[in-house]
Amino acid sequence: MVDVGAKPATPRRAVAGGRITMSQQALAAIRSGNAPKGDVLSTARIAGIMAAKRTADLIPLCHPLALTKVGVEFSWEDNGISVTSVVQTTGPTGVEMEALTAASVALLTLYDMAKALDRAMILGDIRLIEKSGGRSGDWRAE
Each residue of 7-32: pLDDT tens digit? 878 899 999 999 999 999 999 999 99
The CATH architecture annotation of domain 10-134 reads 2-Layer Sandwich (3.30)
| Identified catalytic residue from 39, 112, 125, 138 | 112
Each residue of 82-104: pLDDT tens digit? 999 999 999 888 899 999 999 99
The DSSP secondary-structure symbol of 9 reads P
In the chain, domain spans: 10-134
Residues in CB range of 4: below 8 A, 6 or more apart? 63, 92, 93
- CA dist., res. 22 & res. 40, Å (int): 14
Spatial contact of 81 and 19, defined as CB atoms under 8 Å apart: yes
DSSP reduced 3-state for 36: coil
Predicted TM-score (pTM) above 0.85: yes
DSSP reduced 3-state for 48: helix
**Catalytic site includes residue 3:** no
